[in-house]
Structure 1
Amino acid sequence: MSPDTTAYPPQNRKIGLLFVIVGAVLWGVGGTVSQKLMHHYGADPAWLVTIRLLVAGPLLLLLQFALKDRRQIFGVWKDRRIAPLLLIYGLAGMLAVQYTFIASISYGNAAVATLLQYLAPVVTLLYFLMKQRKAPTRLELTTAALALIGCFMLLTNGSLSSLSVPAPAVIWGLLSAVAAAFYTLAAVPLLRKYDSLVIVGWAMTVGGLALAAIRPPWNSPWPTLDATGYGYLAFVLVFGTTLAFWFYIESLRNLPPQETIVLGSLEPLAAVLTTVVWLHEPFGLWQWGGTVCIIAVVLLMSLRGRA
């Protein structure tokens, strides 16, 4: 069954389309700019993740304070059922997905890291199939096969003798997909009661504080940034994280979730294009084929959600 688009007025749909497209592109470009900060300016991955979380988290809470129900900001911590879940979500969800993603970029590149993270829907599918002890449907088998083929093409560029990206980048990227699946599933009970800006804002803040306690950013080597480097850092913090998330969430108010998921596929495409065109990373024909396969997985998963 297709989503009921009549529930979304045409003007609102235009706003929703603009928000999801801009948000997805900002997310994708943000990963590539993070790669520039690490590879060119020597930014430490843990330092970058800590700064990213401790800036974006409070900014999202400020958006909640200015635009929505400000009572939720501290009210969530008074909820004895939700507060422990929020702590777990901040550590095992937000911090895990952010660190594994940035680590994958640091060892490889933003294109491969983003595409590997986009295997999260397949991880989620496998989790539910095992939990429910169900046999996969034809569509689910097709999705899993496409994911495996896409991974093979992306990581080997058609050669059985070697990987086209370093093994640590692959390991961190696959861990990022697992973390992203947990991040998505663990958010469900939290978002039933509280606004997304509150949940993600606090999750980022909790994750950033935890990582800062383990790896204090003031003790990490500060990258040698020139004016351009600081511009890149500001882009990652404000546009590639804070605004990207906010725009994506706002799009859900004006578009059916299936359309948001499909248009969100612009994120890996933006990451691939900027990595290849701007950073001049080599990307072979087989890898482009793998990119198409992994994006097709996302599209098939959205079709599965319409059934």
Structure 2
Amino acid sequence: MSQTRAMLQRAPHAWGLALALLGAVCFSAKAVVVKLAYRHGVDASTLLAMRMLLSWPLFLGALVVVSVRSREPWNLSQRDIGLIALAGLLGYYLASLFDFMGLQYITAGLERLILFTYPSLVLIMTCLRKRQWPARWQLACMALSYAGLLVVYGHETVLTGANTTLGVFLVFLSAVCYASYLMVGEELLKRLGTIRVTALAMLVSTAAVLLQTAVQQPFSVIWNQPAPVWGWSVVNALLCTFVPVFAVMTAISLIGAQRVSQMGMVGPIATILLGTVALNEPFTVWHATGTGLVLAGVALLSFKRPAA
């Protein structure tokens, strides 16, 4: 651990950028990995259960390591426990479930663009909580992003049919749940630390997924999945869930949240490229136009600061 810390401190900017890029690409690859697993006949709930079963021991191990190394007491109140449970249900259960379900009907590129607009949803929720209207420039940024989504959505509806609407709706619900998770977990993340909150929320979501699976079908359905589904689930749990979480957290500690967010702009582009190569998804001038509008709107919304 000390050798790793020393290595990062020798070139913090370079390592920070590299880890932020790694996190963005790994997060973005999730949609492609899920769609590759769907080719073998697995359903969304089973695939999500496999992801949780394979990833929760990793987060539990990280939680144990942090707890052993940290000398700060936990001091979890009943309110903290309730918020962690709510964060787990929103961020790693419902958001993931709606996302996996939506990916059955839309391309990986469109899915990533929809999820990428979550800053606008956080802004709307913040304004509702404070009972105030967004600024004009914020409304303009959101309009730009959603105009881009409409361009891509309209074109994909022509290419893939009516199920695109269902897929878009499900992934948008996922984005709403993720934005709600960020709102719920903001205070906890600052006070308890990202690893603790993420690991505990993952345990809650794993319990919820397993409960849903037990109600829907026998657990033997999971164990009897073909080898390719298990293989893609391992990739999903390790490279698309566990690795990017810690890569992004380490990058934030090295170069700051704003620069890491800027590197996150690579995410939709990486998903589109991976989807085109691995899934043979179409990428037309309409996709390029819509993607550009979404990226521009989110970038302006995330990094523009109102005049003092």
Alignment of 1:72-151 (within 5 A): 76=74, 78-151=76-149
- Residues 279 and 177 (structure 1 numbering): CA distance in 2 closer, same or farther, change over 3 Å? same
Q: Does 235-244 or 297-306 show the bigger shift? A: 297-306
Q: Is the 2:51–2:234 contact (alpha carbons within 8 Å) kept by the matching residues of 1?
A: no
Q: Which residue of 1 aligns with 2:251?
A: 251
- AA aligned to 1:32 is V
Q: Is the 2:50–2:222 contact (alpha carbons within 8 Å) kept by the matching residues of 1?
A: no
Q: Is the 2:142–2:301 contact (alpha carbons within 8 Å) kept by the matching residues of 1?
A: no
Q: Is the 1:12–1:254 contact (alpha carbons within 8 Å) kept by the matching residues of 2?
A: yes
Q: Which residue of 2 aligns with 1:3?
A: none
Unaligned ranges ≥5, structure 2: 1-7
Q: Which residue of 2 aligns with 1:4?
A: none
- Residues 147 and 233 (structure 1 numbering): CA distance in 2 closer, same or farther, change over 3 Å? same
For these two proteins, the number of residue pairs brought into alignment is 297
Root-mean-square deviation (CA), in Å?
A: 2.8
Alignment of 1:146-165 (within 5 A): 146-157=144-155
Shift of 1:283: 2.8
More helix by share: 2
Q: Is the 1:56–1:201 contact (alpha carbons within 8 Å) kept by the matching residues of 2?
A: no
**Distance in 2 (alpha carbons) for counterparts of 1:306 and 1:256:** 20
- Residues 294 and 222 (structure 1 numbering): CA distance in 2 closer, same or farther, change over 3 Å? farther
Identity of aligned residues (%): 23
- AA aligned to 2:116 is Y
Output one character per residue of 1:274-304: Cα deviation in whole Å (capped at 9) or x when no partner.
1112110123221221111112222112213
SS of corresponding position for 1:268: helix
Shift of 1:254: 0.7
> Are 2:226 and 1:225 equivalent residues in the alignment?
yes
Alignment of 1:198-277 (within 5 A): 198-216=196-214, 218-220=219-221, 224-226=225-227, 228-277=228-277
Q: Is the 2:111–2:171 contact (alpha carbons within 8 Å) kept by the matching residues of 1?
A: yes
- AA aligned to 1:191 is L
Q: Is the 2:42–2:229 contact (alpha carbons within 8 Å) kept by the matching residues of 1?
A: no
Unaligned ranges ≥5, structure 1: 1-7
Q: Which residue of 1 aligns with 2:23?
A: 23
> Normalization by structure 2: what TM-score?
0.86
Q: Which residue of 1 aligns with 2:278?
A: 278
**Distance in 1 (alpha carbons) for counterparts of 2:45 and 2:153:** 25
Q: Which residue of 2 aligns with 1:49?
A: 48
- Residues 223 and 44 (structure 1 numbering): CA distance in 2 closer, same or farther, change over 3 Å? farther
> Normalization by structure 1: what TM-score?
0.86
SS of corresponding position for 1:34: helix
**Distance in 2 (alpha carbons) for counterparts of 1:282 and 1:250:** 35
- Residues 297 and 211 (structure 1 numbering): CA distance in 2 closer, same or farther, change over 3 Å? same
**Distance in 2 (alpha carbons) for counterparts of 1:115 and 1:234:** 25
